[in-house]
Amino acid sequence: MIDINLIRNNPELVKENIRKKFQEHKLPLVDEVAELDVSYRKAIQQADGLRGQLKIVSKQIGALMGKGLKDEAEAAKAQVAQIKAELAGLEEKEETYQQEIRKRMLVIPNIIDPSVPVGRDDSENVEVERFGEPVTPDFEVPYHVDIMERLSGIDLDSARKTSGNGFYYLTGDIARLHSAVLSYARDFMIDRGFTYCIPPYMIHGSVVTGVMSFAEMENMMYKIEGEDLYLIGTSEHSMIGKFIDTILDEGQLPQTLTSYSPCFRKEVGAHGIEERGVYRIHQFEKQEMIVVCKPEDSPMWYERLWKNTVDFFRSLDIPVRTLECCSGDLADLKVKSVDVEAWSPRQKKYFEVGSCSNLGDAQARRLQIRVKGEDGRKYFAHTLNNTCVAPPRMLIAFLENNLEADGRVRIPEALRMYMGGKSFIG
């Protein structure tokens, strides 16, 4: 949610930002908010005037009664009643205007960073840098489900019976590998100075609307029937929600947290053959990074966060690249975002395994996460998030890049202590 002062003082900037995101249908919202804001401030001014009158007339009643001027006192009481009725009407208008303004402000996209490339959708995202040499072996790399099945590591048929499509059973060494990757990611982030957290896996609706746009909410979140609770789509949701309605001293910043959680997503839409298996699923686990910091520090943390993911994947011998998200591919709350993509030897292309985002003060405004400066001034914090690793999707890249010609899977040195010292599985 942007600062309403931008609409008051520079509405054309807000409109141009909407155009850059190719959301022209939202342009009328800017003028609607401006008009509602004028009416809202006028109602506040009128209400303040009435409150002043109310104080004056209320004081007169006691004085008139003290002088024995009963009729005049009764007239003053009648005036008080009239003022109160008018005031109640204005306060009701204030509330209505405020709700209507907020409803529109929640839909107007955040102002993107000037460095973000302008593009309509993810097909216009821009490659930034590659890390590691993408290798295609001289033997055929099977589909990831086939690799897992050869290692007796996955059962999709049983999962369909218990839960439907988009679920899985992992077993044996593949299940152990899944847990090993998460354990290694936890320790990797702790070693980089992040505090490890395990958050709630369900959150209230007020937190959901605080951390994401309505479009994302509809396409992602599962609601618990009959309760004001949603299953989290990522631990970012509950980790940022942890700071709702708080005022942090500057000395408490930055808050650098790394959290583990299962994640639950609807994953609405048609899925191609490459998204079967365990690529796009309704339930998975993830190690996340979250930062709450001063506004001037968020660009620095943005760079550090995505580099953490690159370093993590490279420590497991997986080539990756970074892809700058264009304006049309950015979710409404994001200022800037970069995807980390891993190399697939089977497909001979890169695919997404993580995403790093700077959300500016958008989430902080929605959730009222403020910072108290040394001078006593209060301002909104900036929030950032990034995926360290999200198996089992990451397992696709791991298995393909570490597969040997004889069907065994090599375990990189960094992961062996979490795999009982094994150098290979299979």
**346: annotated active-site residue:** no
The rounded distance, in Å, linking the Cα atoms of 185 and 77 is 70
- Among residues 288, 366, 393, 400, which one is catalytic? 393
The answer to whether the CB of 286 falls within 8 A of the CB of 260 is yes
Cβ–Cβ < 8 Å for 268, 207: no
Catalytic pick among 192, 352, 408, 410: 352
Q: For residue 160, what are the CA distances in angstroms to 88, 169, 261?
A: 58, 10, 23
Handedness of CA 301, 303, 306, 308 (dihedral sign): negative
235, 236, 265, 298: the catalytic one is 265
Is there a catalytic annotation at residue 352?
A: yes
d(CA 150, CA 274): 19
Residue 176: active-site member: no
Active site residue 355: yes
Measured CA to CA, the distance from residue 16 to residue 7 in angstroms comes to 12
Residue 370 is a catalytic residue: no
Catalytic residue among 355, 357, 366, 400: 355
* Active-site residue list: 265, 280, 352, 355, 393
